[in-house]
Amino acid sequence: MSLPVSRRTFIGASGVAAATVVLPSISPAIIRRGAIRPAAVSSSNGLPAVLRAMELVLEGTDTLDAAIEGVKIQELDPSDNSVGYGGLPNEDGVVQLDASCMHGPTRRAGAVAALEGIKTPSEVARLVLKYTDHVMLVGEGAKRFALSYGFKEEDLLTPESRQLWIRWRANRGADDDWLNVPENEPLPTRPTGTINLNVVNPKGEISSVTTTSGLAWKIPGRAGDSPIIGAGQYTDNDVGAAGSTGRGEANITACGGFLTVEGMRRGLKPTDACLETLKRVVQLTPPRLLQNGRPSFNISFYAVNKRGDLGSASIYPATFAAHDGRNGALRDTAYLYPRRA
């Protein structure tokens, strides 16, 4: 990407609830030990993304461009109703998309939030990074910005996602004027979903991107962690990159992407850095979201360091997509608790 020069399974249930993660002091540590291996790590819906991103990286494509091309597969896939086209809408039936990205070599970042009518918010976030002196654009301004670069405004609801919203709306209140869905038609759960992708090339250049349609049926204008630099994703080209999927509000308050990279800066392996961040998430969880002392939600972190070591961890067992430069596959995350509360 050409930019202007000026601008393992781990179970720690017994000690997690009481664990305190001490924030490290900023250190100039740079991870350079050992040979650098190209690698990509992503959420479980990102296996096609890591395969595509690694293919491009090995051809010499810039890491951010490769990552964007990877996540666009899900953004354009109408069957993935947590990302881009076909994403589940807010409570008014409007799809609002969030995305952010960071380019390690130039230390630049870009983001969009509550973007409507544009299928690939990751591309718009990259334009914010590349051509503006801002980091984030939101709402109508973000859409006008995208349209000025030739993006086409489109209806992002698919027949499936629209029907899911209609069924949710009909059952949201016992005393409203909508007829409930028949008992033999199960209501959809309230999905959360995102794709995060972190990439390092053979030269140790790192980028990250996160994109989402956010929490289904959300209050209009709600933005989760995905467009927040330092939460939904974060890159330090001297250290590594990390990102997250799951309950965005929990990640925002923990600054999870940043905290995970700081863990790697202190020498933690990627998986261990993810686990440490999860302990902070648990520590910060308000009582109303705890069941038997454990969070009622799941959240996963994904990380890669400058050497190409990668890992992932979640509160409860999950899977993630990884590519070690040779093969891409789904793997099991490390986790704090063996099952949901």
* Confidence class for position 327, pLDDT limits 50, 70, 90: very high
The pLDDT, as a whole number, for residue 190 is 57
Residue 158 known to be catalytic: no
Helix, coil or strand: residue 103? strand
Task: At 6, list the tokens.
Answer: 């000026």
Give the least confident one: 50-54, 77-81, 201-205.
77-81
Q: Which of 61, 106, 192, 194 is catalytic?
A: 194
Secondary structure E strands in 95-180: 97-103, 108-115, 136-138
* Confidence class for position 193, pLDDT limits 50, 70, 90: confident
Of the candidates 96, 87, 91, 101, the one whose C-alpha atom is nearest the C-alpha of residue 139 is 96
Q: What is the pTM of this model?
A: 0.87
Helix, coil or strand: residue 201? coil
Dump pLDDT digits (tens) for 253-272: 999 999 999 999 999 999 99
The pLDDT, as a whole number, for residue 35 is 82
Q: Is 52:77 a contact under the CB 8 Å cutoff? A: no
pLDDT at residue 114 tops 80:
yes
Find the mean pLDDT for residues 143-162: 97
Of the CA atoms within 13 Å of residue 225, those in its CB half-sphere come to 30
Q: Which domains does the chain show, CATH number per domain?
A: 13-335 (3.60.20.30)
Q: Are strands 310-314 and 299-305 parallel, antiparallel or unpaired?
A: antiparallel
- For residue 190, CA distances in Å to 211, 215, 233 come to 18, 8, 23
